[in-house]
Structure formats: structure tokens, C-alpha cells
Structure 1
């Protein structure tokens, strides 16, 4: 069952080149993690070359949010779809770093950098 929508949470999708960009706004937590997973499943159906998660407007991520990100990562890997994180907010980056998830993703300062890199694995994010 998908939890009720959080009024401050939103996911917007757009296409650029052969990639899909999901811009996530709001907290990524127990009440919103299923919405991210559902949005990504929709993306997988169009079989893009890659997926960029724009996290610039995500300032909080709990264990359910981390689980959703692992789900996205594993699904993209299984489907051979590139995955990148863009503009990760410092507090979320710290959580990802503490859980050692940050190193599993290519990450970039902006969506444009991620698209320019095209999933070549050359992350310009901080270590």
C-alpha cells in the first residue's frame, strides 16, 4: 500500500537526451519513499539510457528514503540503466556517506553535469 501523499513532496519528470531526470522536492521518508519507487518503476518502462535523481530540494532522508534509493540503484543496475544523483543537499549527502551509500552512486553538482557525463562513472561530487 502506498502511504498518503505528503503535501510538501513532489516528483517531476523530464527527458533530456536519452536520460530521464526526476526532480524530487521535499522529505524522502516513510510517507514518501513509495512514491519515489513508483515514479522510478514508470521510468524503467520507457527504458532510458539513464536516470538522474535531482535531489537539490530534498533536505531530509530517513531509513525508508535510504531503502528507496537502494531499490532505485539495484533496479537500474539490473536493467543496465545508468543512475546518477545530482545536487545532493549537504545533510542528505552526509546521511548517504555515513551509510556508505554515497560511493555506490555517480554524483554530480548539477543535472547538467550528470547529463554531460552520460553515466561515465566520472563523478564530480566530493568524496
Structure 2
């Protein structure tokens, strides 16, 4: 049996309220993590106040994808800028939890919530 094709991977960037927003679509894995890193490097060049990764349509993340997220986190920390994850799917949240990285990221239900919290300097609090 042939497994179903994984969703096409894509990253769109936009800027709002001085924040760079990267909307990621598809699986974040060995074949796509470098594209996430490149998109973050491009966003950092614009010197935004922070970076929001919209992961609402990312349904899978492997260890290499996870290392891409950690790369972005460390890059934002080195530049003293905020990083927020928005719309994290349960499956992706689980891998962050299993690897004990969940608390390293500010997480929000939506990009809008992340932007508002960035203005207010708030961190996401798990229910």
C-alpha cells in the first residue's frame, strides 16, 4: 500500500504591528526544516519586534523539524526579539511536550492573540 502524499510545504511571510509572521503549511520535517530556517533568517534581516510562527496548518513535525523550531527560538533569543507559536496542532504540541521544549515557546491559539500579547508583553499560560 502506498502512503498518502504529505501536504505540500509552503511558508508565507507578512508583517503586522512590527512583527514578522511566518505562516507555515504542511509537514515540518527533514525535507522542509531548512526552508523554515531560511525564512526566519530573511525575516530577521528586517529587524522586526518579534516573530510569530503560524503553525495552524502544520500537522506533523519530526525531530529535524523540531530542531528547526529550536534554531528559530535561539536565533530570536540572540537578537533579543520575541517568538510566538500560533495555532499549534495537538500532534505538534505533543512532540514539544515529549521533548520537554513546550515551556520554551510562547504559544497562542491564533496569530491575533500572539500579536496582542506581544503588545502587552504577555506569555501564554496553558489552561
Deviations 1:35-89 (A, max 9, x none): 0000000001001000000000000000100100010000000001110000000
In 2: Cα distance, 1:108 partner to 1:7 partner: 23
1:122 Cα shift?
Answer: 2.0
Q: For 1:1-16, list aligned pairs within 5 A.
A: 8-16=8-16
> Where do 5+ consecutive residues of structure 1 fail to align?
1-5
In 1: Cα distance, 2:20 partner to 2:93 partner: 22
In 1: Cα distance, 2:87 partner to 2:53 partner: 9
In 1: Cα distance, 2:53 partner to 2:44 partner: 13
| Corresponding residue for residue 55 of structure 1 | 55
- Residue 40 in 1 paired to residue 40 in 2? yes
| Corresponding residue for residue 91 of structure 2 | 91
Q: Which is higher, the Rg of structure 1 or of structure 2?
A: 2
| Corresponding residue for residue 116 of structure 1 | 116
Number of equivalent positions = 121
| Corresponding residue for residue 3 of structure 1 | none
In 2: Cα distance, 1:87 partner to 1:79 partner: 24
Compute the RMSD of aligned alpha carbons. Answer: 1.5
TM-score computed with the length of structure 2 as normaliser: 0.91
1:107 Cα shift?
Answer: 0.6
Does the CA-based 8 Å contact 2:86-2:109 persist in structure 1?
Answer: yes
| Corresponding residue for residue 75 of structure 1 | 75
- Residue 24 in 1 paired to residue 20 in 2? no
> Where do 5+ consecutive residues of structure 2 fail to align?
1-5
Q: 1:117 to 1:98 in 2, by over 3 A?
A: same
Please list every run of at least 4 consecutive aligned residues from structure 1 whose deviation after the TM superposition is greater than 3 angstroms. Answer: none
